[in-house]
């Protein structure tokens, strides 16, 4: 099932378009998305997370981290509609 929301796709290098199209139309990228979401939650969003200060120093606010988490979560749900998320 392809990801229908083009806003969640991000920018791509021209040479990566064919591979990106294949990944976006399959669930092959699902383990990567799930681990990225888990790490973002564990190290960036969770209260007292180890990476929160580092991300803040890089210019990311809590709202931006939560937005990234929501976007990743939507991508996971799109590829795995019967997820426990």
Residue 14: the pLDDT is: 42
Residue 16: the pLDDT is: 60
- The DSSP string of 13-43 is -GGGHHHHHHHHTSSTTHHHHHHHHHHHIII
38, 30 in Cβ contact below 8 A? no
The mean pLDDT values, 10 residues at a time, for the chain of 85 residues are 49 55 71 91 88 90 92 87 55
Residue 65: the pLDDT is: 92
DSSP state of 58: T
Q: Which residue in this structure is represented by tokens 């209260």?
A: 47
Residue 84: the pLDDT is: 52
Residue 27: the pLDDT is: 76
Q: Which residue in this structure is represented by tokens 């749900």?
A: 77
Residue-range domain boundaries for the chain: 32-85
The Cα-based distances of 85 to 13, 78, 81 in angstroms read 31, 11, 9
Residue 50: the pLDDT is: 84
């Amino acid at each position: 099932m392809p990801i229908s929301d083009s806003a969640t796709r991000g920018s791509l290098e021209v040479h990566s378009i064919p591979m990106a199209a294949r990944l976006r139309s399959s669930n092959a990228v699902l383990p990567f998305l799930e681990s990225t979401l888990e790490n973002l939650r564990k190290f960036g969003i969770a209260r007292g997370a180890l990476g929160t200060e580092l991300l803040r120093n890089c210019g990311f606010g809590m709202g931006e981290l939560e937005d990234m988490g929501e976007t990743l979560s939507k991508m996971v749900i799109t590829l795995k509609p019967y997820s426990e998320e």
